[in-house]
């Protein structure tokens, strides 16, 4: 048996992030100011972000240095391991070689600390003492909560209500790391109160929670806002994953034919795939696949156009695939994938044919999660299990075709805090959420019209 766990030394860690804006065939259209509908300038973002992050949001410089302070914290769990899935391959009887890059080794259990740490760092350098944010399943909130400790920043989290109740342990983790957590929609903000007035039983959504956090950050000078996915600087920070992985694939003597990642806002997929996409842009054959839930099918069923990042329309308009900013996805267990929009970078790359997309129902996703847990031992996050399902399908296709494919996927997090989801699945209580076609159509019909 060839190597199972492919590890790098600390001294081999990448010292720069990779910015795909230097290389993509077509840059995303600029974000627009929500009031004037004119392109956003750096000053428009200053009330909620530090200048250093605004610069990373817009620069086309290819390599961005990782500050020593950030690198030293990364070393607590990085470099993360790359695994060859020998046992899953054997169970599938596939000629494909399956690899997965595992980000569940971080203290929060997902890839999100790769960006929460630099975001907290740059905010502290700018003198910020408080950050407001939203969280879906609690992954981002806990990643930011732990990062706040390193830099003495207070973290205030608006947690999507359905997850607040489904996943109490992530809330407790956030509180253990010192954050304050509210079930969103709350009556603490104008946007939350509006939603509650219309629907007192609203399960909440990332779009609503973002409105609440942005509203708070914009109205308090001591408070900034931080987003755990979607934005260019978030995708940038996550490229540490793919750069490590390139070195590890080299050590394994392989190169992927196909790279798979689940996609909520697009950041773990971006992080793993962008450094490889550079090779594809330069002519190498490679498929990159984004996997999403059928009940929140942003890339597969959404439209590519300008939309707000949040429900209330406080954020700049971004050119992206969207289901409509007031679409509230069904309360599936993969809470981190319940977002109406998608990273503008991933969206543009999908639009230009460099990234494919597919969607699955949650019961077939959990079936794949169990097969993975029983062969590879790690209990995956429900979000990550979407990538597993797709990897298994690709491996079975390779078997049918009798091809030796190399499949690499992102195991973005572990599911140790998602036991209620597994209990529901094992108890036969997990239902496939229907594709909410009418609701999406309605939400899309309410998108802002942008004059050409
Ligand atoms: C948040 C999260 C996701 C989805 O976010 P992306 O920005 O699309 O990566 C996926 N997996 C896990 C484990 C998460 O915590």
Cα atoms found within 13 Å of the Cα of residue 429, Cβ hemisphere only: 8
DSSP state of 170: H
Does residue 290 lie within any of the structural domains? yes
Q: Which atom of ligand 1 is nearest to the CA of 103?
A: 13
Residue 413 near residue 139 (C-beta atoms within 8 A): yes
pLDDT at site 311: 84
Q: Whose CA is nearest to atom 15 of ligand 1?
A: 139
Work out whether strand 356-360 and strand 406-411 pair parallel, antiparallel, or are unpaired: unpaired
Any ligand 1 atom below 6 A from CB of 385: no
CATH number for the domain that contains residue 386: 3.40.50.1100
Calpha distance 64→81 (Å, rounded): 23
Spatial strand order of the sheet with 180-184 comes to 180-184, 154-160, 130-135, 223-225
- Residue located nearest, by CA, to atom 10 of ligand 1: 383
Could you tell me the pLDDT band of residue 328, with boundaries at 50, 70 and 90?
confident
The whole-number average pLDDT for the span 61-86 is 98
pLDDT of residue 28: 96
384 Cα: distance to centroid of ligand 1 (angstroms):
7
Compute the distance from residue 451 Cα to the ligand 1 centre, in Å.
33
97-134 pLDDT, tens digit per residue, is 999 999 999 999 999 999 999 999 999 999 999 999 99
Distance 136 CA to ligand 1 centre (A): 10
C-alpha distances out from residue 112 to 135, 325, 351, 409, Å: 11, 23, 25, 17
- Is the Cα dihedral 315, 319, 320, 325 positive or negative? positive
Residue that is written with structure tokens 């509650």 in the block: 196
Among 104, 111, 269, 421, the mutation site with the greatest number of ligand 1 atoms within 8 A of its Cβ is 111
Answer yes or no: is 35 within a domain.
Answer: no
Ligand 1 touching residue 342 (CB < 6 A):
no
* Contact 262 CB / ligand 1 (< 6 Å): yes
Taking the CA of residue 269 as reference, the ligand 1 atom at the shortest distance is: 9
In a domain, 342, yes or no: yes
Domain boundaries, position 95: 4-10+67-109+233-445
Q: What is the mean pLDDT of the chain?
A: 95
**Is residue 452 pLDDT above 70, yes or no?**
no
Q: Is 167 in the pocket of ligand 1 (CB under 6 A)?
A: no
The answer to whether residue 309 sits within a structural domain is yes
How far apart CA 44 and CA 203 sit, in angstroms, is: 31
412 Cβ inside 6 Å of ligand 1: yes
Pocket of ligand 1 contains residue 335 by CB under 6 Å = no
Q: Which of 81-95, 181-195, 264-278, 308-322 has the lowest mean pLDDT?
A: 308-322
Question: Which residue's alpha carbon is nearest to atom 4 within ligand 1?
Answer: 264
Give the distance (Å) from ligand 1 centre to CA of residue 380. 12
Q: What pLDDT score does 434 carry?
A: 75
For residue 444 the two structure tokens come to 């899309």
Instruction: Give the chain's domain count.
Output: 1
The Cβ of residue 298 has, within 10 Å, a number of other Cβ atoms equal to: 31
- Give residue 62 CA to ligand 1 midpoint distance, Å: 24
Q: Do the domain assignments include residue 420? A: yes
Mutational test site, ligand 1, from 236, 291, 336, 411, max ligand atoms within 8 Å of CB: 336
Asked whether 440 lines ligand 1 (CB < 6 A), one says no
Tell whether 353 is covered by a domain: yes
Identify the residue with better confidence: 277 or 136. Answer: 277
Residue nearest to atom 2 of ligand 1 (CA): 336
pLDDT of residue 284: 97
Percentage of the chain beyond pLDDT 90 is 88
384 lines ligand 1 (CB under 6 A): yes
Single out the residue of 57, 82, 94, 223 nearest to residue 154, CA to CA: 223
Please give the Cα distance from 20 to 267 (Å, whole number): 13
Q: 116 lies in a domain?
A: no
For ligand 1, whether the C-beta of 348 sits within 6 Å is no
Question: Residue 112: its pLDDT value, please?
Answer: 98
Residue 366 resides in a domain: yes
What was the pLDDT predicted at 330?
A: 82
Q: What is the pLDDT of residues 3-12, one digit of tens each?
A: 999 999 999 9
Burial class (CB in 10 A: 0-12, 13-18, 19+), 205: buried
Q: What is the pLDDT of residues 295-305, one digit of tens each?
A: 999 999 999 99
Does residue 371 carry a pLDDT above 70?
Answer: yes
């Amino acid at each position: 048996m060839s190597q199972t766990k492919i590890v790098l030394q600390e001294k081999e860690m990448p010292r720069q992030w990779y910015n795909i804006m230097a290389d993509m065939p077509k840059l995303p259209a600029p974000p627009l100011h929500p009031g004037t509908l004119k392109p956003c300038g750096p000053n428009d973002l200053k009330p909620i972000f530090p200048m250093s992050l605004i610069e990373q949001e817009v620069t086309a410089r290819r390599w961005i240095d990782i500050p020593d302070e950030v690198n030293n914290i990364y070393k607590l769990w990085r470099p993360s391991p790359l695994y060859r899935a020998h046992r899953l391959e054997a169970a599938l009887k596939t000629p494909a070689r399956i690899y997965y890059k595992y980000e569940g080794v971080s203290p929060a259990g997902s890839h999100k600390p790769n960006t929460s740490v630099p975001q907290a760092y740059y905010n502290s350098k700018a003198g910020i003492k408080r950050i407001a944010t939203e969280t879906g399943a609690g992954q981002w909130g806990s990643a930011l909560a732990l990062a706040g400790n390193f830099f003495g920043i207070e973290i205030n989290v608006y947690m999507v209500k359905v997850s607040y109740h489904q996943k109490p342990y992530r809330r407790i983790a956030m509180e253990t790391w010192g954050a304050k957590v509210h079930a969103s929609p709350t009556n603490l903000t104008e946007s939350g109160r509006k939603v509650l007035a219309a629907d007192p039983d609203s399960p909440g959504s990332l779009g609503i929670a973002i409105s609440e956090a942005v509203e708070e950050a914009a109205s308090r000078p001591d408070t900034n806002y931080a987003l755990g996915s979607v934005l260019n600087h978030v995708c940038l920070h996550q490229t540490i994953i793919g750069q490590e992985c390139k070195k590890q694939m080299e050590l394994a003597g392989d190169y992927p034919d196909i790279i798979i990642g689940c996609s909520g806002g697009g950041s773990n997929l971006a992080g793993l795939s962008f450094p490889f996409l550079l090779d594809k842009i330069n002519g190498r054959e490679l498929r990159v696949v984004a996997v999403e839930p059928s009940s929140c099918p942003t890339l597969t069923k959404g439209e590519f156009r300008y939309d707000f990042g949040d429900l209330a329309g406080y954020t700049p308009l971004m050119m992206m695939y969207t289901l409509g900013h007031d679409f509230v996805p069904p309360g599936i267990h993969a809470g981190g994938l319940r977002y109406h929009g998608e990273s503008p970078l991933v969206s543009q790359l999908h639009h230009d044919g460099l990234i494919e997309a597919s969607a699955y129902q949650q019961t077939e996703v959990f079936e794949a999660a169990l097969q993975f847990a029983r062969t590879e031992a790690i209990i995956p996050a429900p979000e990550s299990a979407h990538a597993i399902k797709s990897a298994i399908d690709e491996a079975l296709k390779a078997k049918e075709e009798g091809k030796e494919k190399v499949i690499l996927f992102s195991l973005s997090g572990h599911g140790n805090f998602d036991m209620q989801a597994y209990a529901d699945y094992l108890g036969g209580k997990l239902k496939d959420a229907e594709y909410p076609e009418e609701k999406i159509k309605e939400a899309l019909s309410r998108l802002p019209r942008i004059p050409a």
